[in-house]
């Protein structure tokens, strides 16, 4: 069975990362005890270099995660607008196609809201996408039936145009959801963070007045920043979530439409 690393709980990841990073600091302190005096002179320079590299990687990765978060947020608004436009134009279709189309759209938007209630696994997401595709096919069959009766630009042509845009917007939103940070980047970030805190512990152990508090603070702050990046990359599983107000508004509007 394949395990998706993105399905692990963020709190568990944070706690494990804090333990590993702080342990690296303790290992650095222990190694500094047996190091020769001349080997400790340049450790501050190395510590500054590795911490600078860590800061650069955190900033770069945070920017990547933030851009993906904004893309997911924009995709929700775009898809909600497309669904709303399709529903409005569906009301112009002749009976019984207008009622059948609105029923399908109600189920379609409710399926969208069900996806956002929790972070679905890959298998659950595939199942939901399959159901969405089935609803899209049923909507397209309604469009074909209407076009066979009346292929005028208004309202049939406008409905088909908005339906096509709605179908395209689903794929755009799925691409935004699936566009996650590569695991190798997160692993590299954790690796550099561990080494950086290890150097900080080594430098702290080399000083006359040894204190663990600064090293612990750095380690916890670094772990918090990395978990914040992962939270942005998983907007449905943590504290930072993509707002669904536009989709709720569309669902309420369609529910109020008379068949």
The pLDDT tens digits of the residues spanning 230-239 come to: 999 887 767 8
**Residue 3 DSSP one-character state:** P
Residue 14's CB: how many other CB atoms inside 10 A?
18
Cis peptide before 96 (omega within 30 of 0): yes
Provide CB contacts within 8 A for 200, sequence distance 6+: 25, 28, 47, 51, 214, 215, 218, 219
pLDDT, residue 211, reads 72
In angstroms, the first-to-last Cα distance of the chain is 46
Contact between 244 and 72 under an 8 Å Cβ cutoff? The reply is no
Contacts of 28 (CB under 8 A, 6+ apart): 197, 198, 199, 200, 201, 202, 203, 204, 205
pLDDT for 13 beyond 70: yes
Query: pLDDT (tens digit, 9 = 90+) per residue, 166-195?
Result: 999 998 988 888 888 999 999 999 999 999
pLDDT at 209 > cutoff 80: no
pLDDT at 76: 92
Count of Cβ atoms closer than 10 Å to residue 235 Cβ: 20
Q: Tokens for 89? A: 């134009």
Instruction: Give tens-digit pLDDT for 97-149.
Output: 899 999 999 999 988 888 776 666 778 788 888 999 999 999 999 999 988 88
User: What was the pLDDT predicted at 259?
Assistant: 59
Predicted pLDDT of residue 153 = 67
pTM of the predicted model as reported, rounded to 2 decimal places = 0.83
Local confidence band at 208 (pLDDT 50, 70, 90 cut-offs): low
* DSSP single-letter state for residue 155: I
What are the Cα distances from residue 61, in Å, to 42, 95, 177? Answer: 29, 53, 17
Element at 34 (helix H, strand E): none
């Amino acid at each position: 069975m394949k395990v998706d690393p993105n399905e692990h709980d963020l709190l568990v990841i944070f706690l494990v990362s804090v333990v590993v990073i702080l342990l690296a600091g303790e290992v650095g302190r222990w190694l500094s005890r047996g190091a020769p005096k001349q080997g400790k002179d340049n450790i501050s320079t190395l510590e500054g270099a590795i911490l600078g590299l860590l800061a650069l990687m955190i900033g770069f990765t945070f920017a990547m995660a933030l851009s993906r978060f904004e893309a997911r947020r924009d995709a929700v608004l775009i898809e909600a607008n497309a669904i709303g436009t399709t529903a409005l134009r569906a009301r112009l279709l002749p009976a019984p196609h207008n009622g059948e189309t609105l029923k399908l759209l109600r189920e379609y938007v409710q399926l969208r809201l069900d996806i956002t209630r929790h972070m679905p696994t890959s298998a659950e997401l595939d199942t939901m996408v399959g159901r969405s595709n089935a609803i899209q096919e049923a909507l397209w069959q309604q469009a074909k039936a209407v076009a066979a009766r009346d292929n005028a630009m208004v309202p049939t042509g406008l409905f088909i145009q908005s339906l096509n845009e709605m179908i395209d917007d689903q794929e755009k939103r799925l691409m935004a959801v699936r566009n996650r940070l590569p695991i190798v980047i997160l692993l590299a970030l954790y690796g550099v963070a561990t080494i950086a805190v290890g150097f900080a512990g080594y430098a702290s152990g080399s000083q006359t007045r040894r204190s663990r508090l600064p090293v612990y603070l750095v380690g916890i702050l670094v772990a918090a920043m990395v978990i914040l990046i992962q939270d942005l990359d998983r907007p449905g599983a943590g504290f930072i979530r993509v707002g669904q107000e536009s989709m709720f508004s569309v669902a309420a509007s369609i529910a109020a439409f008379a068949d």
